[in-house]
């Protein structure tokens, strides 16, 4: 029986650090498992490593052990997602997640939880970008920046627009096109620093993203929606409570029709530009679906030009199958000897 160890050292040249149950739990949470279940599995991995009695291990050994326990405790789906996320863990290009949707659908909450699961520490709302831009330009120069996205049309004033013009959508697009300048600057900075980033907000509009930025980053765009009006309205009640009145319910209910109008418009754009839309009713379900999409989409783009990535993703699977095969062969030989 191997001696039980209190500390396991990772010997890869870029590590030489003790095994961390917390860091392993974060890696497992990227699969979509809840934090408590991820920490429980990370603890099982730690116990398994300790029971093996080897004070030093490689990251490959840890990953393979993690996969065995993850499959046993959660199932093959989570192993598949874990493999893919580990394979893209050392990308030379950053992952930029652009999350759009109408006001009040839950973008900030989903983005925060997504960042925590994926270990992405940099996140910004497009409303923050708009506030920064407002401080740089006088209201008389760019009045459309001084309104909320759903009331930006008020800044259009008395422009002689055709009678058929949808002023709510036009004002929204005018503001979104200006905020896109700031979004583009953040993407450029993330590319230079090779930093993963989440940008969320109503101004992330399908079709507004310039595809030339895709070549230097893995850009994943998605939309959130709440199609049920009553459910959508209830989000603003929750928002008022959570912000202790700083974002009053009345402000949004008075403009609710405009918000819904903008949602209908951006969802049509999402369909035209093949941007996936995720309903946001159950937070756990939404997070799990978005995680699956982001990881699968990134892995697919990564492996298009990297056969090595696919090999790395499957190396533990092949190793485990060989061990299982060897075990079956040994059992068969033992059985023949007993005859």
- By DSSP bridging, strand 123-125 and strand 95-100 are unpaired
Higher pLDDT among residues 121 and 323, named by residue: 121
- Could you report the per-residue pLDDT of 205-237, keeping only the tens digit for each? 998 877 666 788 999 999 999 999 999 998 888
Q: Which of 54-63, 110-119, 197-206, 323-332 has the lowest mean pLDDT?
A: 323-332
* pLDDT surpasses 60 at 308: no
The pLDDT of residue 240 is: 72
**What is d(CA 111, CA 273) in angstroms, rounded to the nearest whole number?**
22
Task: Work out the angle at residue 300's Cα, subtended by the Cα atoms of residues 298 and 304, and round it to the nearest 5 degrees.
Answer: 120
**What is d(CA 54, CA 11) in angstroms, rounded to the nearest whole number?**
12
Kindly indicate the confidence band of residue 55, based on its pLDDT and cuts at 50, 70 and 90. confident
**What is d(CA 54, CA 74) in angstroms, rounded to the nearest whole number?**
26
The pLDDT of residue 267 is: 97
Higher pLDDT among residues 264 and 304, named by residue: 264
Phi, psi at residue 175, to the nearest 5°? Answer: -70, -45
Q: pTM for the whole thing?
A: 0.82
Q: Which of 290, 255, 235, 282 is nearest to 111 (CA)?
A: 290
The pLDDT of residue 245 is: 63
């Amino acid at each position: 029986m191997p001696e039980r160890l209190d500390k396991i050292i990772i010997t890869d040249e870029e590590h030489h650090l003790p095994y961390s149950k917390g860091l392993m739990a974060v890696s497992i949470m990227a699969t979509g498992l809840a934090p408590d279940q991820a920490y429980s599995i990370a603890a099982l991995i730690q116990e398994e490593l300790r029971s093996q009695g080897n004070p030093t291990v490689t990251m490959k050994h840890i990953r393979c052990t993690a996969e065995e326990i993850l499959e046993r405790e959660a199932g093959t789906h989570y192993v598949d997602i874990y493999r893919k996320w580990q394979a893209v863990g050392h990308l030379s290009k950053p992952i930029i997640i652009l999350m759009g949707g109408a006001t009040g659908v839950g973008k900030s909450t989903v983005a925060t939880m997504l960042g925590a699961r994926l270990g992405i520490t940099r996140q910004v709302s497009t409303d923050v970008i708009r506030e920064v831009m407002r401080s740089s330009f006088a209201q008389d120069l760019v009045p459309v920046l001084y309104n909320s996205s759903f009331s930006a049309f008020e800044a259009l004033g008395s422009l002689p627009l055709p009678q058929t013009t949808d002023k709510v959508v036009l004002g929204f697009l005018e503001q979104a096109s200006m905020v896109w300048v700031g979004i583009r600057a953040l993407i450029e900075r993330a590319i230079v620093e090779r930093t993963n980033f989440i940008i969320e907000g109503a101004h992330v509009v399908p079709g507004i993203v310039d595809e030339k930025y895709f070549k230097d980053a893995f850009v994943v765009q998605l939309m959130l929606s709440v199609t049920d009006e009553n459910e959508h309205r209830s989000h603003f009640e929750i928002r008022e409570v959570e912000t202790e009145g700083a974002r009053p319910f009345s402000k949004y209910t008075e403009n609710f029709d405009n918000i819904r109008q903008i949602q209908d418009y951006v969802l049509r754009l999402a369909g035209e530009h093949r941007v996936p839309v995720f309903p946001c009713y159950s937070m756990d379900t939404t997070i799990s679906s978005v995680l699956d999409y982001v990881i699968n989409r990134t892995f697919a783009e990564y492996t298009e030009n990297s056969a090595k990535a696919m090999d790395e993703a499957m190396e533990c699977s092949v190793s485990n199958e060989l061990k299982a095969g060897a075990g079956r062969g040994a059992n068969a030989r033992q059985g023949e000897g007993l005859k």
